[in-house]
């Protein structure tokens, strides 16, 4: 039987992700009684000890979580720390007695979840160093390893990384985390699609005109200029988060709900993306970079002025793409996907635009039927359709039927990291990216990488706007326009 009793070993324990996301997620799981027998062993180069590590984590939790001193003390008593030079295999010997001691103390039977929250350069090194001490072997309890994004830098490096990790961990032990899959509303998309007879017959090229997917952020690159500049919107958001969301919109129903069946369908979508041609990257892709502007009376830096960004950088902070899926369900239906930093709002949403009636009887400008699935913030689903404007005549106007997640106030919704950490402990890989899908996604975006490499155009856009004008023109070619959502899903967005 699967159990979530285990020791969680976090590599990169002094880093940002650990105190911003991982420790708060574990804290909440503990607070809500989802963790029973467990310990957390922080590992990094810094010379901390159990006490100083606990103190740091306590401070981080006090900043972000609602807590009581008792719960905080109880949780922190499960935290431990071991300083290790993470690129030196010999130094990992220190982990052996530490893990033995923790497994005995918490009766966790050798079950160990390793979390690589480190720079990607260590993703190949850590598994090898663990294996040097037999810490990957499953003879005494399961051993799993979570790999943070980015999984590779392109198709070739992703394959190399797989080869490196597979030398020491089998595929069933590897959990490639994409936190978008842990978002409740992304999963809800599957339930919406596959448990409602209402949508299923319409969910195809016969009734859907086009699909729009937006992952917009209002913030800039903040303190992460150094990392971001080597990544850009394409690698940071599109290749992983947004393609996973697209796969959820487009996939076929899985035969059963289990990790393999679900991930088979995701992989099929990735494989069915129509390969991008030279013409596509030149005409169906827009890359952009934000420039300085004043937003709400405040001066906002341009990307080139951000800390850690070279003054001549050509890294894109925005991208928009028109792509297609070559299968029976979607042939000929364009998917317009865009993402960017320093846009007017933080909003992730999917808009399914249905075809109009064959002939407009009541009004030349009959409203479009749309299904808006708001992933964040203010999670909601809104159906838009036309009804008669009160008064004389038969003029139609757009109205909406809305469901908001906040209305289910009693439900305790797990955050993405809470959900995914719990799933990894339970051995459920359904919401983790599988190697074949990751490779197919890299293969699909390779022409974009090549285009960038060859000096492809990066347009400027003013911070606080919806990206370069070229992105408007891209969608306007087919007579369509991007939605301009606000961050709030009010009665009418």
Binding site for ligand BG6 (CB under 6 A): 149, 179, 217, 236, 348
* Euclidean distance between CA atoms 86 and 117, whole angstroms: 12
- Return the number of the residue (58 or 183) whose C-beta is nearest ligand BG6: 183
- Return the number of the residue (149 or 322) whose C-beta is nearest ligand BG6: 149
Q: Is 353 annotated as catalytic? A: no
Residue identified by tokens 């911070």 is 463
Beta bridge partners of residue 299, listed in sequence order: 294
What is the DSSP-derived secondary structure letter of residue 413? P
Residue 150: cis peptide before it, omega within 30 degrees of 0: yes
- Return the number of the residue (76 or 247) whose C-beta is nearest ligand BG6: 247
Catalytic choice (19, 179, 241, 353): 241
Nearest-approach distance from CB 244 to ligand BG6, in angstroms: 11
Structure tokens at 183: 């978002």
| Cα 303–Cα 305–Cα 311 angle in degrees, nearest 5 | 90
Residue 209's Cβ-count burial label (10 Å; 0-12, 13-18, 19+) is middle
Nearest-approach distance from CB 386 to ligand BG6, in angstroms: 32
Nearest-approach distance from CB 65 to ligand BG6, in angstroms: 18
- Return the number of the residue (72 or 343) whose C-beta is nearest ligand BG6: 343
Give the Å distances, CA to CA, from 290 to 225, 238, 242, 322, 360. Answer: 13, 17, 20, 21, 41
Q: How many residues does the chain have?
A: 493
* Euclidean distance between CA atoms 290 and 318, whole angstroms: 8
Nearest-approach distance from CB 223 to ligand BG6, in angstroms: 11
**CA 208 remoteness from chain centre:** 25
Nearest-approach distance from CB 372 to ligand BG6, in angstroms: 17
Nearest-approach distance from CB 219 to ligand BG6, in angstroms: 7
Structure tokens at 138: 């499953």
- For residue 249, how many other CB atoms are within 10 A of its CB? 21
- Return the number of the residue (236 or 349) whose C-beta is nearest ligand BG6: 236
Backbone φ and ψ for 204, nearest 5 degrees, come out as -165, 180
For residues 91 and 134, the answer to whether their CB atoms sit within 8 Å is no
**Hey, is 269 helix, strand or coil?**
helix
* Euclidean distance between CA atoms 435 and 50, whole angstroms: 36
Shortest Cβ contact with ligand BG6: which residue?
236
- Return the number of the residue (149 or 384) whose C-beta is nearest ligand BG6: 149
Structure tokens at 146: 């979570």
- Return the number of the residue (217 or 280) whose C-beta is nearest ligand BG6: 217
Nearest-approach distance from CB 236 to ligand BG6, in angstroms: 5
Residues 6+ apart with CB under 8 A from 101: none
Q: Which residues are catalytic?
A: 241
């Amino acid at each position: 039987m699967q159990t979530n009793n285990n020791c969680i070993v976090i590599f990169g324990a002094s880093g940002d992700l650990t105190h911003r996301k991982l420790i708060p997620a574990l804290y909440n799981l503990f607070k809500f009684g989802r963790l029973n027998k467990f310990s957390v062993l922080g590992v990094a180069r810094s010379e901390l000890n159990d006490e100083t590590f606990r103190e740091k984590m306590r401070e981080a939790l006090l900043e972000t979580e609602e807590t009581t001193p008792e719960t905080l003390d109880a949780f922190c008593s499960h935290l431990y720390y071991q300083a290790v030079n993470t690129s030196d295999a010999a130094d990992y010997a220190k982990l052996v007695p530490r893990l033995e001691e923790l497994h005995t103390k918490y009766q966790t039977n050798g079950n160990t979840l390793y979390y690589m929250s480190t720079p990607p350069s260590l993703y190949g090194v850590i598994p090898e160093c663990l294996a040097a001490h037999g810490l990957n072997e499953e003879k005494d309890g399961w051993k799993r390893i979570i790999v943070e994004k980015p999984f590779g830098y392109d198709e070739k490096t992703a394959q190399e990384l797989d080869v490196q990790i597979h030398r020491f961990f089998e595929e069933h032990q590897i959990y490639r985390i994409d936190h978008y899959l842990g978002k409740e509303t992304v999963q809800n998309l599957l339930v919406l699609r596959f448990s409602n007879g209402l949508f299923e017959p319409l969910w195809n090229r016969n009734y859907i005109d086009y699909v729009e997917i937006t992952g917009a952020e209002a913030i800039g690159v903040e303190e992460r200029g150094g990392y971001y500049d080597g990544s850009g919107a394409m690698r940071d958001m599109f290749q992983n988060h947004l393609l996973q969301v697209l796969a959820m919109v487009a996939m076929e129903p899985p035969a059963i709900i289990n990790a393999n069946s679900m991930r088979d369908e995701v992989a099929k979508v990735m494989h069915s993306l129509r390969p991008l041609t030279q013409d596509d990257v030149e005409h169906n892709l827009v890359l952009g970079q934000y420039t300085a502007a004043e937003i709400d009376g405040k001066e906002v830096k341009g990307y080139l002025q951000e800390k850690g960004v070279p003054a001549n950088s050509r890294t894109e902070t925005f991208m928009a793409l028109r792509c297609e899926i070559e299968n029976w369900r979607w042939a000929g239906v364009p998917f317009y996907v865009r993402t960017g930093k320093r846009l007017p709002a933080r909003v992730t949403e999917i808009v399914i635009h249905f075809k109009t009636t064959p002939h407009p009887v009541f009004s030349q400008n009959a409203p479009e039927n749309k299904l808006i699935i708001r992933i964040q913030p203010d999670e909601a689903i809104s159906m838009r359709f036309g009804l008669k404007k009160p008064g004389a005549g038969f003029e139609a106007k757009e109205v909406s039927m809305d469901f908001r997640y906040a209305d289910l106030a009693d439900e305790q919704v797990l955050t993405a990291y809470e959900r995914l950490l719990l799933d990894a402990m339970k051995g459920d890989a359904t919401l983790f990216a599988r190697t074949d899908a990751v490779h197919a996604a890299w293969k699909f975006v390779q022409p974009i990488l090549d285009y960038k490499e060859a000096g492809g155009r990066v347009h400027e856009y003013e911070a606080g706007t919806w990206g370069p004008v070229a992105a408007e023109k891209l969608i306007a070619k087919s007579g369509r326009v991007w939605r301009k959502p606000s961050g709030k899903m009010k009665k009418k967005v």
